[in-house]
Amino acid sequence: MLYNEPSPHETRILTRRLVYPQAEPIGYEQYAAQQGYEALRKALAMTPDAIIDEVKKSSLRGRGGAGFPAGMKWSFVDRKSPKPKYIVVNADEGEPGTCKDRIILENEPHRLIEGCVIAARAIGAERGWIYIRGEYRRMIETMDRAIAEAYQQGILGANVLGSGTRFDLYTHTGAGSYECGEESALLESLEGKRGNPRLKPPFPATSGAFQCPTIVNNVETFSAVPDIIMNGGDWYAALGAPRNGGTRLFCLSGHVNKPGVYELPMGYNLLRMINDVGGGIRGGKKLKAVVPGGSSCPILKAEECDIAMDFDTLAKAGSMLGSGGVIILDETTDMVKFLYRTMKFYAHESCGWCIPCREGTAWLKKILERLDAGVGVSKDLDMVDQLAQSMFGRTFCALGDAAAMPAMSIIRKFRAEFEERIRSAQVFIPAPETRPLVVL
Amino acid sequence: MADLITLTIDGRKLKVPAGTLVIEAAKQAGIEIPAFCYYEGFSLQAACRMCLVEVEKMPKLQPSCTLPAADGMVVHTESPKVADARKGMLEFLLTNHPLDCPVCDKGGECELQDMVFRYGAGESRFTEIKYHQDEKQWSPLVYYDPARCILCYRCVRVCDEGLGVGALGLTYRGVAAEITPSHGDHLECDECGWCIDVCPVGALTSGTYRYQSRPWEMNHTGTICTHCADGCKTTLSVRNGAIIRANNRDRSGYNGEFLCVKGRFGYDFVHSGERLQSPMIRKNGKLEPVSWSEALAAVATKFSEIKARGGKFGVIGSTRTTNEENYYLQKFARQGLGTASVDHHRTGDVPALIDALSGKTDALAAMADLYQAKAALVIGADLAQQHPLIAYQLRANYRHHKMAAYLVNPGASREEQYAKKSVHAPPGKEMEAVASLAGELKGHEDLVVIFGASLRGEGVRQLVSFGDTLGIPVKYVCLVDYSNSRGAMDMGLVPELLPGYRSVREAGMEPGLALDEMLAAKDLDALWAVGANPLESAELASSAAFVVVQDLFLTETARRAEVVLPAQSAYEKNGTVTSVTGEVQKLKAGAKVMGTKADLEIMGLIAKEMGLNLGIWSPDKVFEEIRRTVRGYNIPLPVVATGGAAQTTPVNGRVPAMPRPEHIRPSGDTLFTSGTLGRYSKRLSSVMEAPGELFKG
């Protein structure tokens, strides 16, 4: 189902088949009636190189957070390798503030399947998995039903639409770890192991699932592929900003009037996104800050928000587009609590593999918990910054960075608020209860 | 050899093979990069982040343990950024570390202490409440304190990759992550305790050593483990004459750090309450403690009397006494007592192998060959159970060099985890299975063949002629069971052979009785058992025989004896032993047990009492005589003297007289048993038997 009414400002490519209210997922019949699987038919007539070229031309960048060009990633796979190649869909959507993949999984599963089969054609894969976070129970069922339909229609199986090539697709359930959204940890988990990240290199394109060449992409990335194949990479690229092709799903949450998932072109202005698409700040309050791409991205202050939402512009501004989870905070937001809550999440989700992330997130959480409770001291503030710096860039995977970045940016940009909290704290700390050692 | 590339570390230009890890390249130049999780020979983790270095043109600090050196790379290991990172890591590590160093076993030899001392900050900024989990006991030998654990995963890797046991894993996440046995709350493993040794902190502690001593209060003596035949170097840590720990952290022997449960924990028999500490003589049917002089005189008198009347002696040597003692014993028997009835508990047909290899050079594998060979063929041996070091060497060879292993065994064995091919064949049918592998074996550059006692006599000859047909260099290991089984054979503790595989006929004697025959001889006048317990599983037919036993314990044989002489174990004396691969290594006395004497001294004193001149009975002098007179034992003295292993090069010719292979009885020991000795080790009997089938040869 859809959770919000579409906005007239949207450019509906990915979501064009969805209508509000969308009670039931789009089944095979409806999907096929609306040009579904035509891109696949077209792709089956193309050479793998032509498919990859088209995706490269589209400048489609990974929608999971890192923004790596998808076509480039696919071209890294050695198609001549004697090993089997695999497709893995990262549907372990866990970044706080992000809720876009579920829109696709829940409403238009065939779009994802079509994207996967096209990608499989491009790299010569015969097998793929959709790794769905365990909490998405309903989406797993929807996906399973759609996959069964696709098998019935000959889209999946031994002979994909009569092309003579095989492609099998399965869903795989995550067990509730944020870390498993990191591609190499996801692969470990997929293989049935503990979801710890892997050493890179080798990257999955060389040695991924079961040590075979694998491409791991986000749900939204794969789902964008059918339209790219149908209309051409140039058409898709032109929808967005330079080197940031197409549209993407932005998840507006927080203090806006109309929170929801909206499809907007890459490079859409953030202020317009808040005011036009999101209907402005709730209750006529003032904007305080925006987390532009999920909780791990450095925060933007209100005055920094007149910015184009694409990977490169945000990187230049010292933040990240991330996974498209735009969290809007109004002037009433308690930034101390906000950072504490964020850090609590990362301390809980750190896998424990490397020292700086394991110990750093836990330590930061404890300091921030104190600050939030009003028992902080002023040197805590520098310490939060310094500890985050000790973690940043030194952890095994990006989770440490993801925890360090919000800590550094929030404590630097809203330091006055933290200081005020320490100063104004009127916390009564009760003396420890004393009891006589011997009761006579 | 890969191409050499040039990189610069701290301003020094180095040439290393392409692909060398930066941490290793630095080590070669004498630059130490600190690391916890990096452990040579095991998989890379990059988890501790201690080894981060600054590499020019790379924006982030790089873990040097996973960074391959590239041409023109410029690395800084002591820059301010690196120093700051190290200090930061150590500060993080200490946040939840209990800092109970004063009562921690590891204090004084703790890598975390050392690192903080060198690279860390004097003060911590951590003022929060520490995360704590209580200590757990995993087995009688292994304790785990999660609070001290820094999660370097060394224990997980040595167990999984090194031994193929995989008893340890990781549970929970974030700060609560901890090492957990795969059976939940307890270990079902080899109990080798290697995890304890590799632990850089005091997280894993040994059930035997914990709270016993500070590391600097002990003397350390490197000697050879007295249990199986693999000849592992074990360093005994001795305090007040008592062994309280054994390990091989200095990697001094050919076993490196590897030791099995016997080497690491099985020394406690030395201080068993049941050790004999006074000679005993049977008076009125009961064994009574007497003085050494009385006991020795009694033996000498009786021996002289039996010798004078031409009586029948039976002399049984040990598989654990030193080469010097074995040599001296056979000399005593043959020259002193004039008997050819000398034997020991034989566990493998070494003479048949040496005979079959006549005319070949370099055909006996050394322990290092097992790690270097391109292929291995194991016949009738459960290596993980009976020869842990050989099993480890082969596995390491597979891990590092992708050695191809072929197994011909009666049942499943742990080597099947990585073996290229495994054929199950019952004893007696091995050679047919071996022949079926010929095609594959030919394809390798070289081969090492390891066979157990089920192949003997003609079977060994068939095996060697099979090896000859392969057309590749083949080396052999004939498995024997105890620490000096090979040496006992080499020293001529068999009725047919003199030391160095010469026929007894050379000495003008006819072969005497074998062990079983001595026990069965109704007219035996005297039985002299030196470190042997033949009556454990057999009866002595001659009821009138005068039985003299030199042993550590009151064994079944000792209970039957007229005179019992308390001997010293291998851990209390000097000498040499020869391992299963024919490598001679030096024993060094570590412990002291009051009232005991070394077997060599006991034999020397009996000889003196009998007025025999058999030469000086100090280990060095006897070893000199062995080097001079025993073929194959003319090994370089400095190698042995400095604690190395020197392989003997036995006769390169036919063995003139064959000991009868039907007297070979493999001991059937498992990982947790060790013949008679093992019965007196409380620790070996305290641990749970690891699952696994044992092949009896």
The residue among A353, A369, A386 with the most chain B CBs within 10 A of its CB, best to mutate, is: A353
Q: What pLDDT, on the 0 to 100 scale, is given for residue A434?
A: 59
Contact status of B131 with chain A (Cβ, < 8 Å): yes
Instruction: Report yes or no: B366 and B393 within 8 Å, Cβ to Cβ.
Output: no
What is the three-class DSSP state of A328? Answer: strand
In this structure, are residues B496 and B504 in contact, taking their beta carbons and an 8 Å threshold? yes
CB < 8 Å to B61, chain A: 393-394
Contact criterion met (CB < 8 Å) for A396 and B49:
yes
Question: Which pLDDT does position B697 carry in this prediction?
Answer: 37
CB contact set of B463 (below 8 Å; sequence gap of 6+): B356, B379, B431, B434, B449, B451, B455, B476
Tokens 């197994």 correspond to what residue?
Answer: B407
Residues A406/A399, Cβ–Cβ less than 8 Å: no
Contact residues, chain B, for A176 at CB < 8 Å: none
Distance between CA atoms of residues A151 and A310, nearest Å: 37
The domain B131-271 is placed in CATH, from the list 3.30.750.210, 3.30.70.20, 3.40.50.12500, 3.40.190.10, at: 3.30.70.20
Q: Which CATH class is domain B280-346+484-585+594-638+657-666?
A: alpha beta
Instruction: Answer yes or no: do B175 and A362 touch at CB < 8 A.
Output: yes
Interface test with A, best of B53, B92, B116, B178 (most A CBs within 10 A): B92
Across the interface, whether the CB atoms of A194 and B151 are under 8 A apart is answered no
Tell whether B600 is within 8 A of chain A (Cβ).
no
The total of other beta-carbon atoms located within 10 Å of residue A303's CB is: 8
Answer yes or no: do A354 and B47 touch at CB < 8 A: yes
Cβ–Cβ contact B126 with A under 8 A: yes
Smallest Cβ–Cβ distance between A350 and the set B44, B96, B174 belongs to B174
Mean pLDDT for A27-56 is: 96
**What distance in Å separates the CA atoms of residue B105 and residue B215, rounded to the nearest whole number?**
8
Interface list for chain A against chain B, based on CB atoms closer than 8 Å: 177, 179, 194, 196, 199, 347-356, 358-363, 366-367, 370, 383, 387, 390, 393-396
Average pLDDT over residues A314-339: 96
Q: Residues A146-191: pLDDT tens digits?
A: 999 999 999 999 999 999 999 999 999 999 899 999 999 999 999 9
B4-93: which CATH topology?
Ubiquitin-like (UB roll) (3.10.20)
Tell me which chain B residue has its CA closest to the CA of residue A360.
Answer: B92
- Helices A137-152 and A109-123, packing angle to 10 deg: 60
Q: Would you say residue A302 has pLDDT above 50?
A: yes
Bridge partners (DSSP) of residue B225 are none
CA distance A65 to chain B (A): 20
Between A177, A360, A396, which is nearest B47 by CB? A396
Whether omega for the bond prior to residue B566 falls within 30 degrees of 0, making it cis, is: no
Neighbours of B238 (CB within 10 A): 21
What kind and span of H or E run contains A338?
Answer: helix A335-349
Q: What is the pLDDT of residue A376?
A: 87
- The answer to whether B123 and B172 have CB atoms below 8 angstroms apart is no
DSSP B212-275: T--GGG-EEEEEE-SSBTT--EEEEEEETTEEEEEE-TT--STTTT---HHHHHTTGGGG-TT-
Structural domains of chain A in order of their starting residue, each with its CATH number:
28-239 (3.40.50.11540), 247-330 (3.10.20.600), 335-424 (1.20.1440.230)
Q: Which residues of B touch A199 (CB under 8 A)?
A: 44-46, 66
Cβ-Cβ contacts under 8 Å, B93 against chain A: 355, 359
Give the closest residue to B671 by CA, choosing from B659, B683, B655. B683
Distance from CA of A37 to the nearest CA of B (A): 42
pLDDT digit string, tens, across residues A198-241: 999 999 999 999 999 999 999 999 999 999 999 999 999 999 99
Q: What is the arithmetic mean of pLDDT over A250-266? A: 97
Token pair, residue B127, equals 């003022």
* Residue in chain B nearest A400 by alpha carbon: B174
Residue A365, min C-alpha distance to chain B (Å): 10
Q: Which of B123, B133, B175, B180 to mutate to test the interface with A (most CBs of A within 10 A)?
A: B175
Is the minimum CB–CB distance between B58 and chain A shorter than 8 Å?
A: no
Q: Do B48 and A354 touch (CB under 8 A)?
A: yes
Q: What is the pLDDT of residues A353-380, one digit of tens each?
A: 999 999 999 999 999 999 998 888 889 9
**B66 and A199: CB-CB below 8 Å?**
yes
Which residues does chain B have within 8 Å of residue A349's beta carbon, measured at their own beta carbons? 173-174
Q: Classify domain B350-479 at the CATH class level.
A: alpha beta
Query: Residue B159 has what pLDDT?
Result: 95
Nearest by CB to residue A354, choosing from B49, B59, B172, is: B49
Candidate from B128, B150, B169 with C-beta closest to A363: B128
Tell if the CB–CB gap between B85 and A179 is shorter than 8 Å.
no
Contact A354 B95 (CB under 8 A): no
Average pLDDT score over residue span A431-436: 60
B615 contacts B622 by C-beta, under 8 angstroms: yes
Q: Which residues in chain A touch residue B91, judged by CB atoms under 8 angstroms apart?
A: 390
ipTM for the whole complex = 0.92
Residue A246 contacts residue A58 (beta carbons within 8 Å): yes
Contacts of A394 in chain B (CB under 8 A): 49, 52, 60-61, 85, 88-89
The tokens describing B175, both together, are 């700060």
B21 and chain A: CB distance < 8 Å anywhere?
A: no
The residue among B125, B130, B182 with the most chain A CBs within 10 A of its CB, best to mutate, is: B125
Q: What global pTM score does this model have?
A: 0.93
Average pLDDT, chain A: 94
CB of B507 within 8 Å of a chain A CB? The answer is no
How many distinct helices (H) and strands (E) make up chain B?
A: 23, 30
Residues in A closer than 8 angstroms to B172, CB to CB, are: 352
Residues of A in contact with B173 (CB under 8 A): 177, 179, 349-352
Task: Identify the CA nearest to B329 among candidates B599, B619, B623.
Answer: B599
**What does the pLDDT read at residue B652?**
81
* Sign of the alpha-carbon dihedral angle for B455, B458, B464, B470: negative
User: Touching check for B174 and chain A: CB below 8 Å?
Assistant: yes
**Interchain contact B93–A (C-beta under 8 A):** yes
Which among B50, B61, B66, B95 is the top mutation candidate for probing chain A, defined by the most A β-carbons within 10 Å of its own β-carbon? B95
- Residue A142, SS3? helix
Q: What is the mean pLDDT of each run of 10 residues along chain B (697 residues)?
A: 86 93 95 95 95 96 95 96 96 95 95 95 89 94 96 96 94 95 91 96 95 94 96 96 94 94 95 96 96 97 96 96 97 96 96 94 94 96 94 97 96 93 92 95 96 94 96 96 96 95 93 96 97 94 96 97 97 97 96 96 97 94 95 92 90 88 90 91 85 49
Question: What's the order of all strands across the beta sheet hosting A325-330?
Answer: A260-265, A247-254, A325-330, A287-291, A300-301
User: Are B478 and B349 within 8 A, CB to CB?
Assistant: yes
Evaluate whether B371 touches B258 at the Cβ level (below 8 Å): no
Q: Pick from A347, A363, A383: which is nearest to B95 by CB? A: A363
pLDDT at A51 over 70: yes
Distances A412 to A334, A388, A416 between C-alpha atoms, Å = 15, 12, 9
Neighbours of A286 (CB within 10 A): 10
- The domain spans of chain B are 4-93, 131-271, 280-346+484-585+594-638+657-666, 350-479
Q: Report d(CA A54, CA A234) in Å as an integer.
A: 8
DSSP state of B568: P
- Name residue B632's amino acid: G
Q: Which amino acid belongs to residue A147?
A: I
Smallest CA–CA separation between A351 and chain B, in Å? 5
Please choose, from the candidates B349, B329, B350, the residue with its C-alpha nearest in 3D space to the C-alpha of residue B341.
B329
Task: Decide if B95 touches A, using CB distance below 8 A.
Answer: yes
Chain A residues with CB-CB distance to B96 below 8 A = 359, 362
User: Which chain B residue has the Cα nearest residue A350?
Assistant: B174
User: Do B88 and A394 count as a contact with CB atoms less than 8 A apart?
Assistant: yes
Averaged over A321-340, what is the pLDDT?
Answer: 96
Euclidean distance between the first and the last CA atom of chain A, given in angstroms as a whole number = 69
Tell whether B169 is within 8 A of chain A (Cβ): yes
Q: What does residue A118 show for φ and ψ, rounded to 5 degrees?
A: -65, -45
What gap in Å lies between CA B136 and CA B147, rounded to an integer? Answer: 11
Of A177, A349, A352, which has the smallest distance from its Cβ to B177's Cβ? Answer: A352
- CB-based contact B49 A355, cutoff 8 Å: yes
